[in-house]
Chain A
Amino acid sequence: MKFRMNPVYKKELKISVRTVRMAMIILGYNAVLALIGLLSFYFTFNYSFNNNIDYSGILQIYLILAVIEFGLVLFVVPAFTASAISGEREKQTLEILLTTKLKPSQIIFGKLLSSISSTLLLVFSSLPILAIVFSIGGIRLFDLIQLMLFCVTTAIFVGSIGIFFSTCFKKTVPSTVFTYGSIILLVIGTLAIIAVSYMIGVRNYDNLYSASSTMIEYNPPGVGHAINLLLINPAVSLLALLSKQFGSPSYLSSLLSHYGKTNTVIFDHWYAISILIQMLLAVVLLCISVRTLDPLKNKK
């Protein structure tokens, strides 16, 4: 069968390419990124004495740029996807789409693809700036590719959250609120849950400890395996990725072992496992969205 581009994706692409906005955004984003990159370079090299280049400084530039890319994906993709379906509904174009030959899955997929691709275009367009870091050394090409792939999976994950709420709600406003709400919950909320339950656990232990007369070693409990909740946190995945790339698992391990216990297998493959789980969640959310969109499967 001949390959055929998803019609919805093609149409969205046509609309977004038409406006100058996209070009301006790409220009602006890369300008800001380049500025940050150059400034960090300036500081790294100016403050290095005896012509000794401090490679950890370069790693820091990479770290900053990686976090910016991640933040971009995390907060811009949902802006597109949260209005993807509800926007069509508000524009009163969705009903027409649903009576055409298009399957609900094609609509969902086309929308996800177009919402993700404009953001990923931004990410990929900044590759040359990231490559500056790479040209000096300290970071391998493979690391850059991995970072890009991570941006793709994160975009799919947060994108499908947006699509999900966008099909659930009739209006874009609640959809956007719930989408950002759940992203904040994922990134900050999960950490807060772990931290709070850790503190409660420690307080209870302290009370018991001071009350008990026998001399036992002070050993407050962590949150145990509940720490695995962080697997769905994309920010922790980024941390895991960067730890792995820098060859020092200390960032991740200090976070995980301080608050709880993890299985060594999970710990060793934290990044891969977390991405797998996030992709699974994305698939589930997308499947629910497809079902919700189908007027005949959806009761009412």
Chain B
Amino acid sequence: MLEIQGLYKHYGKFTALNGLNLELKKGELFGFVGPNGAGKTTTMKIVSGLLNADAGDVFVDGINIRKDKKKLKEKIGYMPDFFGVYDNLKVVEYMEFYASIYGIEGKPAKKLIYELLELVNLSECAGNYVDGLSRGMKQRLCLARCLIHDPELLILDEPASGLDPRARFEMKEILRNLNHKGKTIIISSHILPELSQMCSTIGIIQKGTMVLKGTVEEIMQQMNVSNPLLIQVVEGQDKVISLLKRNPFVENIAIKGSNYSIGFKGNKVEEANLLHSLIENDIRISSFFRQEGTLESLFIQITKEEEGEKIEV
């Protein structure tokens, strides 16, 4: 659906995008995460045809965005991070304006607008003036607006920024709903837990390059490897250490009473093997688990590493 290859963008001497790659399949809900100034907005603007990249290619549904701007505009719906609405225009008229841009007028337009407002829970405000809407309502209106031509790819730049928890939840539900209807969606955000609940895949951008990309599980797994394995031993403590030392994946061991914290570089299967061998040796274990990493700690870890400060997990 979306393919970004080696995207570069410079602002004067400053490199905002440094060979960014990204590939999204149809129906993905992709969370685009990165610290301030990482280049999320820049990437999204390039994909939406608002900025020229210095180098690299972008394909939306196989269309090179440099070559066929008209087709691109039919395929994408873009919601900027900051946007305004017109004064003296009612919600319905606001929608009618954008519908008329796509040549949708009269009865079909009325019907479509009604459906979209319903979708974003704004049908009750149809007669209100847009400049009188709350931030959350404007955000939802803008979302409804970018759905008017039924685009396949939605590019949403921080659609939940500045919203209260309730409004965030609503926005999340709407987006999930849209994703179920088959839309491919890219959302940028700083807030990781929110994205991890909602997105199918997540990409982490740092200084204009994608440092990590995968499904939420994959990313969790990858980060788990660097988290310690926590084992609570009830009986057979004398045998534990020698057993652990023989395991090739064990890197270090910290003991605190009956709790063992182990640096373990193995995957799930190797974890299971370790547990199996412990039990076979009559060691009685009450708990055995990998310390859960939050996406947040990963985020901080990755962004710190880039700055050259190794941090111990």
Residues of A in contact with B (beta carbons under 8 Å apart) = 4-5, 7, 10-11, 14-15, 18-19, 91-93, 95-96, 98-102, 295-296, 299
Contacts and interface: CB of A to CB of B under 8 A. Distances in A.
A18 B88 contact: yes
B88 A100 contact: no
B83 A7 contact: no
B111 interface: no
A92 B80 contact: yes
A260 B105 CA distance: 58
Contacts of B101: 7, 100-102
B246 interface: no
Nearest to A101: B73
B48 interface: yes
B85 interface: yes
B70 interface: yes
B97 A7 contact: yes
Interface string B33-70: 00000000000000011111000000000000010011
Given A7-B100, A15-B86, A100-B102, A295 B52 contact: yes
A11 B101 CA distance: 10
Contact of B83 (A15, A96, A101, A102): A96
A295 B78 CA distance: 15
A17 B49 CA distance: 33
A122 B248 CA distance: 88
A100 B73 contact: yes
A101 B74 contact: yes
B149 interface: yes
13 contacts: A7-B101, A11-B86, A15-B87, A15-B89, A93-B83, A93-B85, A99-B48, A100-B73, A100-B149, A101-B101, A101-B149, A295-B51, A296-B66
B12 to A, nearest CB: 9
A99 B50 CA distance: 7
A101 B50 CA distance: 13
A92 B85 CA distance: 8
B98 interface: yes
Given A4-B103, A14-B93, A101-B149, A296 B49 contact: yes
B14 interface: no
B145 interface: yes
Nearest to B72: A99
A295 B49 contact: yes
Contacts of B74: 101
Given A11-B89, A99-B50, A101-B74, A93 B97 contact: no
Contacts of B87: 15
Contacts of A5: 100
A11 B98 CA distance: 10
B108 interface: no
Contacts of A295: 49-52
Nearest to A2: B103
Nearest to B52: A296
Contacts of B103: 4
Interface in B87-123: 87-89, 93, 97-98, 100-103
Contacts of A91: 84-86
Interface string B132-152: 000000000010010001000
